[in-house]
Amino acid sequence: MLIVMDRTATPEQVSAVVETAEKRGYRAHPIPGAQRTAIGLTGNRGAIDSGAFENLPGVFEVVRVSHPYKLVSREFHPEDTIVSVGGVPVGGKQVVVIAGPCAVESLEQVVTIAKAVKEHGAHLLRGGAYKPRTSPYSFQGLGEEGLEMLSAARAETGLPVVTEVLDASTVDLVAAHADCLQIGARNMQNFELLKRAGQSGKPILLKRGMSATLEEFFLAAEYILSEGNPNVILCERGIRTFSDFTRNTMDLAIVPAVERLSHLPIVTDPSHGTGKRHKVTPMSRASIAAGADGIAVEVHHKPQEALSDGPQALTPAMFAELMAEVGPIARAMGRSI
């Protein structure tokens, strides 16, 4: 942190800032300039409380020069992290495709869709057994039964399973069936869940909250890493804006922003990101062109009968077309798919 003193600050005021910093265990480095003095602070083990300095006499402004997150930052860990989900590497050269229904509805439904997406080249199977629904009257998911169906679909297809965990009390149960725990947008700042998931030993797919800044997103991931679990995949799934032609606004610029600041892989979810089936393939292409490490796409063999998110589900045939279109883009980016 850099404390910039006012042009009229006295040497006593500079000394008082230095003393305050030292009392808090930091080292203070005054840098006299032609117009004013700045004081650099080092030796902190976490974020420095800028409030302790802002109101001291003679202080003009307090400038943060480092980030409040550490373990997720590229500064701390320069190499890309590759997360293995049931043996599938996420964050390496290969672009990963996660596909499946929004919700597990029956054994027949999830196995049919799993086989279809596998046939067309998906690497991981998605599907919710616990569904966070806006209305309490909407389908809430099959719960443990749904988890068993996902395990059966994995046994049938070999696709590792990504599924959502809604609360800290079901982490162990979901982890017993899942290869990767998904933490949804609505739970991005459920700190008890983040900590518990961090202790689960499973990789985590962390979705961005619908009004989360990049820093809040990173700090949510930091909760998981700080529990000793470095296997976090970030997922951009669209944020709330004033745009009215999509369900959410897919903030694709977050892909290069994450890549610059963090070593964690980032995938996108063009299904929830747009909410409309016809926009899913274009935004999948764009995601891969922007450098995303993967995409998560909802697929249903009978979208008109889906119990959740039918309007954004691709049919297996549309998913096959998507896969054909993204292959050349991945290769143009020097990646495989």
Nearest to 123 by CA among 306, 318, 319: 319
User: Does 113 sit near Mn ion (CB under 5 A)?
Assistant: no
User: Is the CB of 14 or the CB of 103 nearer to Mn ion?
Assistant: 103
* Token pair 């961005």: residue: 208
What is the three-class DSSP state of 20? helix
Among 30, 40, 92, 132, binds ligand PEP (CB under 6 A): 132
Residues numbered 188-207 forming contacts with ligand PEP, rule: CB under 6 A? 207
Question: Binding residues for ligand PEP, how many (CB under 6 A)?
Answer: 11
- Tell me if 146 sits within 8 A of 111, measured CB to CB: no
* 102 interacts with Mn ion by CB under 5 A: yes
Site string for ligand PEP, 86-125 (x = CB under 6 A): ----------------x-----------------------
Residue sitting closest to ligand PEP (CB)? 184
Of the candidate residues 309, 318, 319, 326, the single one contacting Mn ion (CB under 5 A): 309
Q: How far is the C-alpha of 187 from the C-alpha of 169, rounded, in Å?
A: 14
Selected binder of ligand PEP within 123, 202, 272, 279 (CB under 6 A): 272
Binding partner selected for residue 279 from Mn ion, ligand PEP, none, CB under the kind-specific 5 to 8 Å limit: none
* Residue 174: φ, ψ to 5°: -65, -40
- Tally DSSP H helices, then E strands, for the chain: 11, 14
Question: Which candidate, 235, 308, 326, 314, places its Cα nearest to that of 277?
Answer: 314
* Cβ neighbours, 10 Å, residue 27: 12
How many residues would you count in the chain?
337
Q: Which is nearer to ligand PEP, 66 or 213 (CB)?
A: 213
Distance CA 165, CA 171 (A): 6
Question: Which among 105-113, 156-164, 227-235, 308-316 is the span making contact with Mn ion, rule CB under 5 A?
Answer: 308-316
Question: Near ligand PEP by CB under 6 A, which window of 76-84, 85-93, 183-191, 212-220?
Answer: 183-191
The 58-87 contact track toward Mn ion, x by CB under 5 A, reads: ------------------------------
The partner in contact with residue 293, picked from ligand PEP, Mn ion, none with C-beta cut-offs of 5 to 8 angstroms by kind, is none
CB of 179 to ligand PEP, least distance (A): 16
306-332 burial string, b = 16+ CB within 10 Å, else e? bbbbbebbbbbebbbebbeebeebbee
In the chain, the amino acid numbered 175 is A
Residues that bind ligand PEP (CB under 6 A): 102, 128, 132, 164, 184-186, 207, 237, 269, 272
